[in-house]
Amino acid sequence: QVQLVESGGGLVQPGGSLRLSCAASGFTFSSYAMNWYRQAPGKERELVAAITNRGGSTTYADSVKGRFTISRDNAKNMVYLQMSSLEPEDTAVYYCNAKILLRAYWGQGTQVTVSS
């Protein structure tokens, strides 16, 4: 079964950094693009970052460009989101996502809170 498990969330001060991790299993990880989404209270889930199957190309939401970096390690079936210069507006539950054979798979999410 496809499984995605996020970790690394927590409380951080504005301007701080945090690295999220997503451990994937149950599918041929290196064959699929991976994504990070986030959802803040009262808002719709939004795509934050995406990375192609081999890691050759990445895309980011305008709101996080220059601050966040998505990466992957196919030997370990891991995808990461390095977050820097965090702002209160980054507060949300962050989800790892994979689209495999016409359906989407999601992790349970990890809470990121940026606050003084």
Q: Give the mean pLDDT per block of 10 residues along the chain (116 residues).
A: 98 98 98 98 96 97 98 98 98 97 96 97
* 3-state secondary structure at position 31: helix
Secondary structure element (H or E) that encloses residue 58, with its range: strand 58-60
- 52 Cβ contact list (under 8 Å, min separation 6): 33, 58
> How far is the C-alpha of 67 from the C-alpha of 74, rounded, in Å?
23
pLDDT at 37: 98
